[in-house]
Amino acid sequence: MKTHPVSILAVGSMAFDTVQTPAGKAEAVLGGSVNYFSVAASFYAPVQIVGVVGEDFPKQHLGWLSQRRIDVTGVQVVAGKTFHWVGSYDQNLSEAKTLSTALNVFEHFNPKLGDNHRHAPYVFLANIDPILQQSVLDQVNSPKLVACDSMNFWIAGKPDELKKTLKRVDILSVNEGEAYLLSGQRNIIKAAELIRAMGPSVVIIKRGEYGAMLFTPNGMFIAPAFPVQSVVDPTGAGDSFAGAFMGFLAEAGADRKMAQEDPRQWENLLRRAVLAGCVMASFTVEDFSLHRLMRLENDELVGRQHSLINMITV
């Protein structure tokens, strides 16, 4: 398998998903935060992933990833079965209902970074135990920009550890319900202010079919979702949003130094990165698993980006 120069290090889950939606059912298809994130980010910048899978994980998928500027040498293949999530969505497709979770080999995941991982200039901590997120940060060597994700399970179960992580990151990406739970507020603006006070200077609140909101020291930006004719499966939309967002910033060379020295350019790139995330998520939901992202061509991506910008430009 090929290896590539590293721009973004992503650490998180690689999984099988069984998903039931109003559009149908998909059995044991590829899922996991790192899979969605890395494929989305690879449209913009090289990615290096760290994760763990079982012996049942298809080798051809690792081969396919490695052909997309994604370095998979950090993926451990160990004895046992791959993490398997089973969930369903009702008619409004707003939130997944978890039916079962088999952590399998992921239960003992303890990310150990090699020398080629430690110098990644951009780091994304996907939705994993905040103690593991801190462990990754302990191992990296002065990255230019760090972003992370979390979920209700960690917000409610390990709030103190999560707050330790937040003190060490530049950007947090969560959905609306997670933002309310983390902040204890029911007003989205107050929630973002309180979360920013915990550490991350930039907070992104994902709102599904309503797009996303960006909160920075300079104010806020509201990005609409790109309207699609048919939503098949929302699974992974948030992770692919984050992948495109981080990939866009990495391609542009945006980092915390720019935030200090040229806040106007930094703000502009953040807004464009959020729009890139909204567009990528709109492709993800059009099919089960990563199937739509696997078929996605760059000219389609650019065309939809231009369409979204035209929709919001006066």
CA distances from 1 to 35, 64, 173 (A): 17, 9, 31
Compute the distance between CA of residue 165 and CA of residue 161 in angstroms, rounded to an integer: 7
Look at strands 97-102 and 84-88 and give their pairing: antiparallel
Query: How far, in whole angstroms, is CA 146 from its chain's centroid?
Result: 12
CA distances from 67 to 41, 70, 293, 294 (A): 13, 7, 14, 12
Compute the distance between CA of residue 33 and CA of residue 156 in angstroms, rounded to an integer: 20
Compute the half-sphere exposure of residue 128: CA atoms within 13 Å on the CB side of its CA.
30
Compute the distance between CA of residue 234 and CA of residue 250 in angstroms, rounded to an integer: 25
CA distances from 130 to 11, 212, 248 (A): 12, 24, 25
Burial-class residue 191 by CB neighbours within 10 Å (0-12, 13-18, 19+). Answer: buried
pLDDT for res 213: 98
pLDDT for res 5: 55
Q: What is the 3-state secondary structure (H, E, C) of 38-54?
A: HHHHCCCCCEEEEEEEE
pLDDT for res 4: 45
- pLDDT tens-digit series, residues 216-254: 999 999 999 999 999 999 999 999 999 999 999 999 999
Compute the distance between CA of residue 20 and CA of residue 309 in angstroms, rounded to an integer: 33
**Tokens 């106007």, residue?**
264
Which of the following CATH numbers is that of domain 8-312: 3.40.1190.20, 3.40.50.970, 3.40.50.2300, 3.40.640.10?
A: 3.40.1190.20
Contacts of 260 (CB under 8 A, 6+ apart): none
pTM exceeds cut of 0.85: yes
| Residue spans of the chain under pLDDT 70 | 1-6
pLDDT for res 28: 97
